[in-house]
Amino acid sequence: MSTEGSTAQPHAVVSGSSSGIGRAIALALLDAGWQVSGLDAAPASIVHAAFTGHTLDLRDGTAIARLCAALSPVQALVHAAGVLRVGPLGHLDAEAGELMWRLHVDAASRLADALVPGMAERRQGRVVLIGSRVAQGMPGRSQYAATKAALVALARSWGAEVAAQGVTVNVISPAATATGMLQDPARAGSAPRLPPIGRLIEPAEIAALATFLLSPQAAAITGQDIAICGGSSLPR
């Protein structure tokens, strides 16, 4: 997972790499010497010699399988792509719920199914899924919370399957983060809750933790849901 002592760059696949948390993680990995393949429905926003952008609809399982089969060996997978749709009981949108499930959970499952067995065979690999503090439940966000909670279950299950093969699987669950998602009209009327530290979480802070979890030093951390919450999880 490190370039120390080796001329080969480790290779990470990062979904949602064109903006927000995914972009911050991709940039941090590039700075750390990784080769990064970015997956996003939007055009690539990163220009770097070690970055390759792939425009991809992550709801398309066939497209995911085709792309993963064409990639060079992968040492890490970061699934950061996501959307937020809100709605209280009585006004739940089935299409919005399906969108979030397919993008958060189904895409993560397809990417991991295609890439993690190779990591396990090589006895080296890291997976980081971007969850949310909302997974613990929040009024008006039940469908979103359910998809993010599912990521924790996936991480714990996959982590148990591949721990002995040198592969770790973890979730990072941020509180409200300073990304473009906060300005999404689809969340109108559902303002973010400011953490006790008095500011939003910065994408670079999440990227720093993701970079560590993908490093050799994090080999003993797996199956965990790690909050970057600015004190939101503390009793008050």
DSSP 163: G
Whole-angstrom Cα distance, residue 145 to residue 136? 7
CA distances from 84 to 125, 148, 175, 194, 211 (A): 29, 11, 13, 17, 24
Of 16, 30, 25, which is closest to residue 213 (Cα–Cα)?
25
Which structure tokens are listed for 235? 């009793």
Whole-angstrom Cα distance, residue 39 to residue 56? 6
Q: Residue 40's beta-bridge partner residues?
A: 55
Instruction: Specify whether 144 is catalytic.
Output: yes
Whole-angstrom Cα distance, residue 149 to residue 138? 12
Taken in order 200, 202, 205, 207, the sign of the CA dihedral is positive
Catalytic residue among 34, 51, 144, 158: 144
Please identify every residue annotated as catalytic: 144
